[in-house]
Amino acid sequence: MGNKSVVSLKERQSADWNAEDQNLLAATLSATPAQRLAWLEEVLQLAYASGALKPRRFIGKEEWETMGVSPR
């Protein structure tokens, strides 16, 4: 099943794509969920370490439930 999607994907790619773009796309689409999660965790760690993302505080269940209630 995976091979059929790769073949049809290659047929749909435009002729101006270079080999590096095709390899990146193929690697991205063939990544397992575990590999995708590992990549996401690594990117988030980098973002926090560089200061691009600021840590958020934990929202408790009670606060979460009251967020959707509008005061009357």
Interval 18-27: pLDDT, tens: 888 888 888 8
Interval 4-54: pLDDT, tens: 555 555 555 555 668 888 888 888 888 899 999 999 999 999 998 998 988
Assigned domain for 72 exists: no
**Dist. CA 56–CA 45, nearest whole Å:** 13
* Least confident stretch, 15-19, 55-59, 61-65: 15-19
- Helix, strand, coil abundance in the chain, percent, nearest 5: 65, 0, 35
Q: CA geometry: angle at 68 spanning 67 and 72, to 5°?
A: 100
What is the extent of the structural domain holding 35? Answer: 2-67
